């Protein structure tokens, strides 16, 4: 049997995919009101570790970036940097109506409204604020997307980098990001 | 034929070490979860994490040394494992143990952490630097009681060979845990420091240091470190089983003894908060060191 024939490759892909969706290292970027929903999701009451979801302290080690609410323009800059430091494949989950359409900050002078224009979001969880149950159901949705091979926001980001950069630079006036490789 | 058998024996040892290592760590996660009134992840969760990390499609590095750090650490783990006889007799799993391997192990066991320190230094992340300095200080703390405990055993058995120490503990009454209880206490406290579980996890403190030395390592590098961690955990446990519990004559016996030993740091880790660096070092230099010196006096007086 050849090592790289079609069937073996599928099995390897299968195992990889299984591992990817059952081991989600989370970087919770605690913006907005949503940060307060993360501790109950992770601890005894809702126990997200059942699904292999554990918190990580640095973007380098994380797979999932949680954007937990509204983003001011100043924070957006940091979030973009954080996102770009994560290793592929990486996923983004947007919490609450603020990330979807601006929510109650829709006419604010210094928050962004639609997160999808600045970075690819794989799963949105609606609510203001979503409860831990819906947060976990959002994670399950992400697992389903990974299983179906549809959680490919990171690829979109690489392909449409110019479009995303243009959008980002439109709102971030003092764009002086350091040179770093990601 | 003989060579083939020996070589496959080495690979079998590494395979067993890795499997047992990640299963024990999964067991620890479940136990922690149960204590916290949670369900916890499946027992093979660590394997999934490692596969996931190995199958990441990008892995950033900031230079040669960061590339070498995890490689050093895995080399050191495998080397440590290779010089520890896994079973007390038979042809399998004897590896490269030789007369005087105990002295050699004392040196090689810190090698992995030094490699990690070099790798973490290259990343330029301040959290890594702080974590490395804390980790190296902690090594200075627990190495002293560890060496004292080993010295007591070496003096008692008048040998530096793990095989002869194992052979001398031929019945349960002859196990070093009963014959040299003081050396065991000193050794096991040093072992708490080596595992880096609470209360001695200040080098890696995730909430404070962003996980310390590995904070810039992602993807395959982190996967390599976790693989190395699993192998090293098994190597350390086997060493302690050999030293204090009379070794094991089959793998099942080894598993039971290693698990019993592993429960000590795990249970202590679950119920204790974290020591600061200087508290940890002072602790290591005080009680276990005193006990270690007493154990040497006891051994000398006994003989
Ligand atoms: S959606 Fe609601 S809860 Fe969430 S950040 Fe916006 S205002 Fe806060």
List A65's β-bridge partners, or say none.
Answer: A27, A92
pLDDT tens column, B186-233: 999 999 998 888 888 888 887 788 888 888 888 888 899 899 999 999
How far, CA to CA in Å, does B168 sit from each of A91, B147, B173, B244? Answer: 57, 20, 11, 11
Torsions phi, psi for A101 (to 5 deg): -140, 15
Contacts of A52 in chain B (CB under 8 A): 41-42, 45, 48-49
pLDDT at B140 over 50: yes
Cβ contacts of residue B18 below 8 Å, gap of 6+? B227, B230, B231, B234
Q: Can you tell me the mean pLDDT for B277-281? A: 90
- pLDDT, averaged across chain A: 86
List A161's β-bridge partners, or say none.
Answer: none
Residue among B39, B59, B210 minimizing CB distance to A87? B59
Percent of chain B with pLDDT over 90: 35
Inside any domain, residue A30:
yes
The answer to whether the CB of B290 falls within 8 A of the CB of B144 is no
Predicted local confidence at residue B230, as pLDDT:
92
pLDDT band with cut points at 50, 70 and 90 for residue B66 = confident
**Chain B residue closest in CA terms to A60:** B218
Task: Among A28, A75, A94, A96, say which to mutate for ligand 1: greatest number of ligand atoms within 8 Å of CB.
Answer: A96
CB atoms within 10 A of CB B236: 23
Chain A contact for B216 (CB, 8 A cutoff):
yes
Distance of CA A27 to the CA centre of its chain: 8
Contacts of B131 in chain A (CB under 8 A): none
Torsions phi, psi for B85 (to 5 deg): -65, 125
Number of structural domains in chain A: 1
At A33 the three-state DSSP class reads coil
Find the B110 Cα to ligand 1 centroid distance in Å. 49
Task: Among A103, A107, A113, A130, say which to mutate for ligand 1: greatest number of ligand atoms within 8 Å of CB.
Answer: A103
Higher pLDDT, B125 or A139: A139
Q: Can you tell me the mean pLDDT for B265-273? A: 91
Residue among B29, B38, B57 minimizing CB distance to A44? B38
Q: Can you tell me the mean pLDDT for B87-112? A: 79
The answer to whether the CB of B38 falls within 8 A of the CB of A12 is no
What's the CA gap between A35 and A38, in Å, rounded?
A: 6
DSSP letter at B275 equals P
pLDDT tens column, B44-59: 999 999 999 998 888 8
Higher pLDDT, A118 or B63: A118
Inside any domain, residue A50:
yes
What's the CA gap between B13 and B4, in Å, rounded?
A: 14
Torsions phi, psi for A64 (to 5 deg): -120, 130
Distance of CA B56 to the CA centre of its chain: 27
Inside any domain, residue A68:
yes
Contacts of B42 in chain A (CB under 8 A): 52
The answer to whether the CB of A170 falls within 8 A of the CB of A77 is no
Cβ contacts of residue B79 below 8 Å, gap of 6+? B108, B111
Residue among B29, B58, B207 minimizing CB distance to A87? B58
pLDDT at A179 over 70: no
pLDDT at A13 over 50: yes
The answer to whether the CB of A67 falls within 8 A of the CB of A92 is yes
pLDDT band with cut points at 50, 70 and 90 for residue B83 = confident
Predicted local confidence at residue B123, as pLDDT:
82
pLDDT band with cut points at 50, 70 and 90 for residue A2 = very low
Q: Can you tell me the mean pLDDT for A9-35? A: 86
Run of H or E residues at A65: strand A64-67
pLDDT band with cut points at 50, 70 and 90 for residue A182 = low
Can the peptide bond before residue A103 be classed as cis, meaning omega within 30 degrees of 0? no
Run of H or E residues at B229: helix B219-244
Chain A contact for B124 (CB, 8 A cutoff):
no
DSSP string, A70-123: --BHHHHHHHHHHHHHSPSS-EEEEEHHHHHT-GGGTT-SSB-S-GGGTS--SE
Higher pLDDT, A29 or A72: A72
pLDDT at A1 over 70: no
Identify the weakest region by mean pLDDT among A29-38, A57-66, B33-42, B232-241.
A29-38
List A123's β-bridge partners, or say none.
Answer: A93
Residue A16 is part of a domain; what is its CATH number?
A: 3.40.50.12280
pLDDT at A181 over 80: no
Q: Is A98 in the pocket of ligand 1 (CB under 6 A)?
A: yes
Q: Is A73 in the pocket of ligand 1 (CB under 6 A)?
A: no
Domain containing A162: what range?
A: 6-171
B36/A15 CB distance under 8 A: no
Mutation target among A15, A56, A60 for the B interface, most CBs of B within 10 A: A60
Predicted local confidence at residue A5, as pLDDT:
54
């Amino acid at each position: 049997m050849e090592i790289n024939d079609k069937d073996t490759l599928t099995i390897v892909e299968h195992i990889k995919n299984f591992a990817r969706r059952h081991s989600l290292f989370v970087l919770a970027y605690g913006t907005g009101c949503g940060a307060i929903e993360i501790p109950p999701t992770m601890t005894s009451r809702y126990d997200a570790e059942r699904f292999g979801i554990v918190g990580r302290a640095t973007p380098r080690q994380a797979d999932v970036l949680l954007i937990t609410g509204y983003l001011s323009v100043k924070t957006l800059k940091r979030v973009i940097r954080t996102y770009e430091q994560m290793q592929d494949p990486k996923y983004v989950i947007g919490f609450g109506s603020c990330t979807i359409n601006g929510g109650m900050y829709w006419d604010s002078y210094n928050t962004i409204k639609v997160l999808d224009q600045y970075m690819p979001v794989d799963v949105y969880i609606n609510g203001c604020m979503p409860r831990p149950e819906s947060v976990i159901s959002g994670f399950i949705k992400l697992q389903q997307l990974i299983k179906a091979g549809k959680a490919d926001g990171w690829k979109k980001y690489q392909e449409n980098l110019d479009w995303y950069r243009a959008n980002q630079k439109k709102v971030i006036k003092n764009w002086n990001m350091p040179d770093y490789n990601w | 034929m003989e060579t083939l058998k020996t070589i496959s024996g080495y690979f079998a040892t590494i395979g067993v070490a890795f499997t047992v290592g990640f299963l024990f760590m999964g067991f620890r996660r479940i136990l922690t979860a149960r204590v916290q009134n949670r369900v916890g992840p499946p027992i093979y969760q660590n394997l999934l994490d490692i596969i996931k990390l190995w199958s990441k499609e990008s892995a950033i590095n900031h230079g040669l040394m960061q590339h070498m750090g995890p490689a050093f650490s895995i080399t050191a783990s495998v080397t440590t494992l290779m010089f520890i006889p896994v079973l007390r007799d038979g042809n399998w799993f004897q590896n490269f143990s030789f007369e005087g391997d105990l002295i050699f192990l004392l040196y090689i066991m810190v090698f992995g952490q030094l490699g990690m320190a070099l790798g973490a230094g290259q990343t330029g992340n301040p959290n890594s630097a702080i974590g490395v300095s804390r980790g190296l200080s902690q090594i200075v703390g627990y190495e002293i009681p560890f060496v004292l405990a080993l010295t007591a055993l070496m003096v008692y058995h008048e040998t530096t060979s793990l095989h002869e120490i194992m052979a001398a503990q031929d019945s349960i009454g002859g196990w070093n845990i009963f014959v040299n209880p003081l050396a065991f206490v000193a050794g096991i406290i040093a072992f708490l420091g080596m595992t880096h579980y609470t209360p001695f996890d200040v080098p890696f403190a995730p909430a404070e240091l962003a996980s310390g030395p590995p904070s810039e390592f992602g993807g395959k590098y982190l996967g390599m470190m976790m693989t190395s961690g699993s192998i090293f955990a098994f190597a350390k446990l086997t060493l302690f089983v050999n030293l204090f519990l009379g070794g094991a004559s089959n793998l099942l016996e080894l598993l039971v003894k290693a698990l019993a030993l592993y429960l000590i740091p795990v249970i202590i880790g679950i119920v204790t908060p974290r020591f600061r660096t200087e508290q940890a070092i002072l602790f290591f230099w005080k009680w276990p060191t005193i006990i270690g010196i007493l154990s040497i006096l006891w051994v000398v007086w006994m003989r």
